[in-house]
Amino acid sequence: MERHFFAVDLGASSGRTILGTLKEGQLLQKELTRFPNQLIRAAGHYYWDLYALYWEIIKGLQLVAKENIKIESIGIDTWGVDVALFGKDGSLLRSPYSYRDPHTVGAMEEYFKLVPKERVYEITGIQFMNFNTLFQLFTLRKNHDSALEAADKILFTPDALSYLLTGEMVTEYSILSTSSMMDPRTKRISQELIEPIGIKEDMFGRYVQPGETIGYLTPEVQELTGLGRVPVIAVAGHDTASAIAAIPTADPEYVYLSSGTWSLMGIETQDAIINAESFEKNFTNEGGIEGTTRFLKNICGMWLFERCRKEWTDAPAGYDELFAEAQKVTPFRSLINPDDPCFANPPSMVEAIKDYCRRTNQPIPEGYAEQCRCIYESLALRYREVLDMLKEMSPFPMKRMHVIGGGSLNYVLDQYIANSLQIPVLAGPKEATAEGNILLQIKAQGLVSDIQEMRAIITRSENPKRYEPQDAELWEEAYQKYLTIVN
């Protein structure tokens, strides 16, 4: 018997609706729609168009109804930290700010005058990034933002979209854990952190865990889509949490890399790791499924390549041809720190890379081939740097790396990673986020009982590609050069 599920997977640059089908113990996927998620730049800020995303979900559901497919449930996952503000009448007060908006630059340092930095980390265990939700809300309050002043409810992006579908306001655990407001011990928002900026816990929706039912499609949405009273499930609303749920392994001794616009690299543990060392190295503890913690570091990922590719007017259209050209140029000629603030959102990523190399007295990478190689080698070496940090804090050895997400198809980068880390790399599944989303809906239906059974479905459904380490001496020498440059 086939069972069908509807997944919404929203990234910072594009979104998709996916039909997941559980058939004979395997998970099949069909992409129904794909659409851009455009940043709106207006009046000095960067916004998300929440209603446009809502309408894309409606169109995907209309397609399901048109094809006469009976879906068991709906689940939504998105990027982290961003929130939408709603008034007492339930209306969206304005388009949500994007985490890319520069209005939070310097916000952390100002907030730490209210609550010391060490205390914030002691409570949350979250990596310090200026766009964390806590610092976004602090900035809005400091700027006397009219939407926040009128807000009755604050909802994270996946919860806001679920609200538009169901009329139910919730705060899902994994997405809340990205905010720098949650205490992982209590799994609730810390009053100590939000009270200094005039925000109360009851301004957020009721707490839900991954796998709980949020509500059912409203009569309005049923009429718009042609569907019935379909439940909307709180999957792991943070896309990385959903992705980690779909790693095809039963052995916990691994390190993962969720590779997309951002790289999220870490381990899965039962308890948060919050100590002086994790504070010093700025690691984060985010919520996973079944009470697990994702101990990780956020790293600038394919954002560098994506931005440069838009500027490479003379580059080959196909990735294979581009990669082939990049392989011909001198290795390790120029290296960058992918997490340098200059790469956050520059007007020109190509010029930012050139400027970085100029400032660090390196050869300037000219042309797409040299710049592409610079990006990929630098990313692989940054992953090695983070792995060395993890080795000092992990409660278990990391015998291999699982690369999941869109970056798992990048065979050049995957081989570079294996070479840099000197451990095997298993690449795939590419669609881990959507698969994790669907698996949690499957669990909500009672078709599997725990994460082991969920991952067993993925193991039967996927065949990750394996990359073995090569050129150990060459990459070790490059790593020492990289450390000299970035430090």
- Please tell me the predicted confidence (pLDDT) of residue 1: 84
Query: What pLDDT, on the 0 to 100 scale, is given for residue 212?
Result: 97
Which pLDDT score, from 0 to 100, does residue 102 have?
Answer: 93
Interval 438-454: pLDDT, tens = 999 999 999 999 999 99
Provide the CA 486 distance to its chain's centre, in angstroms: 25
CA 275/CA 270 separation, integer angstroms? 16
Out of 3.60.15.10, 3.40.720.10, 3.30.420.40, 3.40.50.12280, the CATH code matching 247-428+464-487 is 3.30.420.40
Domain locations in the chain as residue ranges: 3-237, 247-428+464-487
For residue 54 the two structure tokens come to 């809502």
Do the first three CATH levels of 3-237 and 247-428+464-487 match, i.e. the same topology? yes
Residues of the chain with pLDDT under 50: none
Does domain 3-237 fall into CATH 3.30.420.40? yes
Q: What was the pLDDT predicted at 345? A: 85
* Residue of 74, 64, 66, 36 whose CA lies nearest to 52: 36
Tell me if residue 239 is catalytic.
yes
Look at the chain and count its residues.
487
Q: Could you tell me if 414 and 427 are in contact, meaning their C-beta atoms sit under 8 angstroms apart? A: yes
Predicted pLDDT at 322: 96
Contact 154, 199 (CB under 8 A): yes
Tokens for 86? 């709603």
pLDDT at 344: 87
CA nearest to 33, candidates 4, 53, 57? 57
Residue 229 token pair: 């009273």
The pLDDT, as a whole number, for residue 167 is: 98
Q: What is the pLDDT of residue 371?
A: 98
Q: Identify the pLDDT of residue 246.
A: 96
pLDDT digits (tens, 9 = 90+) for 194-237: 999 999 999 999 999 999 999 999 999 999 999 999 999 999 99
Phi-psi region of 57 (alpha: psi -120 to 50; beta: other; left: phi over 0): alpha
Which listed residue (239, 251, 314, 339) is catalytic? 239
Q: What's the whole-model pTM score? A: 0.91
Backbone torsion region of residue 44, taken as left when φ is above 0, otherwise alpha when ψ lies between -120 and 50, otherwise beta: left
The answer to whether the beta carbons of residues 178 and 238 sit under 8 Å apart is yes
